[in-house]
Amino acid sequence: MNLIFNGPINDLSFGNVSINLLREFYKQDDRVVIFPMQDANYSAFDKIDKDFKSWIDNSINYNLHNISKDYPTLTLWHLYNSQNYIGNKNFLFTFHELDQVTMIEKNLSKLHEKVFLTNQEAVDAFEKLDCNNIEKINLGFDTDFFEIEEPIIKDKIHFVLLGKFEKRKHTKEIIKLWLDKYGNKKEFLLTCCVTNPWIKQDQFTNIIRSILNGKHYNNINFIPRLKTNSEINHLINSAHIDLTGLSGAEGWNLPAFNATALGKWSIVQNHTGHKSWATKDNCILIDPSGKEDSHDGLFFNNGGQYNQGNIYTFDSDKVSIAMDDAVKLANTKNTNGLKIQEDFSYANTVKEIKRIMNE
């Protein structure tokens, strides 16, 4: 197939999805004209295949030689600024977490032949506004991640929490709940990889101090942002239990998905993008307790043109019980979680994208 790809190649979650989509196009011998958003940054992909990287670079270097108005364009980006696309027929792959759609988001979605979303609740929200070009599509398992059989942490039950520090992700509440339950208990450890590049370091330090409330805990680590997928893979493999799925709204939630797929026990709220992959058989699934406004004064602001709506909340008692359940399972492998690697592949993602593009 001939197509144009317009998306970021960087060390963020969008960049990881870009690399995985492009890798599958490469495997399927598709002719792809690549227009990256900003310069391509491969720093996270420390084990990228040299021939695949050369294929990407060559496509970028000769994109203006090979561009054609007859090629459909696949854009991987936010709805914001998605009007700036290349080619005559554009397909947008994006992520939407909240339960509402603004009029601007509706109008932008209608500019595209199809909009691919990974969250059925988001699809339903768009369809309520008569957006009839929305398609539900699944992500795949990133093969840069792999199971490390030898236990990395043997003498403690290791919890991990990943993802940017946000109200939407309930980062503060999760850490406080864990500290109340396990703080300074030597048989437990929590590692938090939750830095946020949009929060200044001194502000972030003050946030952590407020969570700790002046107390010293000897079994919690706050680590800086990890630079490569190999480092992230090592952290996930060192864990027994993942808490990232307690987030209040997600398009997909790559860290929780990857942790589950690597056989870890993830505690996951049953909502939004989680519903695409998390089940009672492959994770410790809990129902949310309700909803609250997403407004946080940083990333979600009431009255804005984008990202309006609510996030899900959890009941602390239910989470505490789920943690107890996870601890009982901690030293066993989540075999149903491992099946995610087979059930969700980027080969299927790209196959579905191409099918819809060719309709």
> Within the chain, how many helices (H) and strands (E) appear?
13, 14
User: Given 3.40.630.30, 3.90.1150.200, 3.40.50.150, 3.40.50.2000, which CATH number is that of 2-140+345-357?
Assistant: 3.40.50.2000
Q: What is the largest CA-CA distance in the chain?
A: 63
User: Given 1.10.150.530, 3.40.50.2000, 3.40.190.10, 3.50.50.60, which CATH number is that of 157-343?
Assistant: 3.40.50.2000
**pLDDT tens by residue, the chain, 359 residues:** 999 999 999 999 999 999 999 999 999 999 999 999 999 999 999 999 999 999 999 999 999 999 999 999 999 999 998 988 788 899 999 999 999 999 999 999 999 999 999 999 999 999 999 999 999 999 999 999 999 989 999 999 999 999 999 999 999 999 999 999 999 999 999 999 999 988 999 999 999 999 999 899 999 999 999 999 999 999 999 999 999 999 999 999 999 999 999 999 999 999 999 999 999 999 999 999 999 999 998 889 999 999 999 999 999 999 999 999 999 999 999 999 999 999 999 999 999 999 999 99
pTM for the structure as a whole: 0.97
Site of tokens 């997909």:
252
How far is residue 179 from each of residues 184, 211, 259, measured CA to CA in Å? 8, 9, 22
Structure tokens at 278: 């998390």
How far is residue 17 from each of residues 22, 149, 346, measured CA to CA in Å? 9, 26, 9
pLDDT confidence of residue 350: 98
Question: Computed over its alpha carbons, how large is the radius of gyration of the chain?
Answer: 21
Question: What are the structural domain ranges in the chain?
Answer: 2-140+345-357, 157-343
pLDDT confidence of residue 88: 86
pLDDT confidence of residue 298: 85
Domains 2-140+345-357 and 157-343 share a fold: yes
Instruction: Order across the sheet with 188-193: list the strands.
Output: 220-222, 188-193, 157-162, 241-242, 265-269, 284-286
pLDDT confidence of residue 205: 94
pLDDT confidence of residue 190: 98
Distance separating alpha carbons of residues 106 and 342, to the nearest angstrom = 35
Site of tokens 């979650």:
13
pLDDT digits (tens, 9 = 90+) for 139-181: 999 999 999 989 999 999 999 999 999 999 999 999 999 999 9
Nearest alpha carbon to residue 140 among 38, 20, 10: 20
pLDDT confidence of residue 37: 93
Provide the residue type at 264 as one letter.
K
pLDDT confidence of residue 87: 82
pLDDT confidence of residue 299: 86
